[in-house]
């Protein structure tokens, strides 16, 4: 749950609550599109997700704020689209690992294992989550009953790994996109989750611990 995710961040030795720069970026394109984002990345230089529909860079104005907590005061989600996408697609990857390691109980059980693993392995790597662990665990909790269950349902139905990861990009992008009237793929479609060696091994180890704690015997399977 949320408290466990926050505790995992602290347990990982992450300094929580330390003052850091965070930015509200107000973007304006020559074609008239405007939007705002609240993130740890600076507003300029812009990110790939900030491109205008014609490929040009938007005009960006920046306001420094206290941290992710300040985003809600402006009715903005904390974190860039790319950052939140990575959390979402990493959860999808953890669903696949959970299934390979023998987690039983359908989509809900797969998501529970995947969310706990993402909280332990992925969240501490994100600046937004180090600054606001409660906010990130709430975000992950939301994913667990939306995108994650869609992904897990595909797994239960027998969909292949490649198809599931493609759908994860689409599901995550649709749920998390900040801009509704854009054709910029970097702002609408999440990047595929990358398998990153030791981190994937950590995901597998975390899933194995979840399986053991629920007294479900894991299969000794290889990681992705």
Q: What is the mean pLDDT of the chain?
A: 82
Residue 215 has pLDDT above 50, yes or no: no
What band does 193 get if pLDDT is binned at 50, 70 and 90? confident
Residues 131-168 pLDDT 10s:
999 999 999 999 998 899 899 899 889 999 899 999 99
What band does 64 get if pLDDT is binned at 50, 70 and 90? very high
Indicate the pTM of the whole model: 0.78
Q: With pLDDT > 90 as the criterion, what percentage of the chain qualifies?
A: 62
Structure tokens at 42: 């600076």
Residue 208 has pLDDT above 90, yes or no: no
Count other C-beta atoms under 10 Å from residue 197's C-beta: 9
Q: Are 9 and 16 in contact (CB under 8 A)?
A: yes
| Residue 186 DSSP symbol | G
- For the chain, the first-to-last Cα distance in angstroms comes to 26
For 136, the 3-state DSSP assignment is helix
Q: How far apart are CA 46 and CA 34, in angstroms?
A: 14
- Sheet of 59-65, strands arranged across: 34-39, 22-28, 59-65
Say what the pLDDT of residue 192 is: 86
> Using N-to-C axis directions, what is the helix angle for 106-121 and 2-11, rounded to 10°?
30
Count other C-beta atoms under 10 Å from residue 130's C-beta: 21
Lowest pLDDT segment from 4-18, 68-82, 115-129, 191-205: 4-18
Helical (H) or strand (E) element with 64: strand 59-65
Which of 77, 151, 139, 73 shows the shortest CA–CA distance to 108? 151
Structure tokens at 176: 């998390």
Please, which residues bridge with residue 37 across strands? 25
Q: Are 219 and 104 in contact (CB under 8 A)?
A: no
């Amino acid at each position: 749950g949320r408290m466990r995710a926050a505790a995992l961040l602290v347990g990982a030795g992450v300094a929580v609550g330390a003052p850091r720069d965070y930015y509200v970026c107000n973007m304006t394109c020559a074609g008239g599109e405007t939007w705002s984002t609240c993130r740890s990345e600076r507003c300029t230089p812009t990110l790939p997700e900030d491109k205008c529909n014609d490929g040009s860079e938007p005009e960006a104005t920046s306001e420094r704020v206290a941290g992710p907590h300040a985003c809600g005061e402006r009715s903005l989600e904390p974190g860039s689209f790319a950052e939140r996408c990575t959390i979402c697609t990493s959860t999808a990857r953890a669903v696949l690992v959970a299934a390979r390691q023998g987690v039983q109980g359908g989509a809900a059980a797969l998501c529970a294992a995947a969310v706990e693993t993402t909280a332990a392995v992925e969240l501490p790597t994100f600046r937004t989550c180090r600054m606001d662990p409660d906010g990130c665990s709430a975000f992950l909790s939301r994913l667990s009953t939306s995108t994650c269950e869609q992904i897990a349902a595909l797994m239960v139905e027998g969909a292949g790994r490649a198809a599931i990861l493609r759908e994860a990009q689409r599901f995550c992008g649709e749920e998390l996109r900040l801009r509704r009237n854009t054709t910029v793929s970097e702002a609408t479609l999440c990047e595929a989750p990358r398998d990153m060696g030791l981190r994937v091994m950590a995901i597998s180890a975390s899933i194995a611990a979840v399986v053991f704690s629920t007294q479900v015997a894991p299969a000794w399977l290889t990681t992705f």
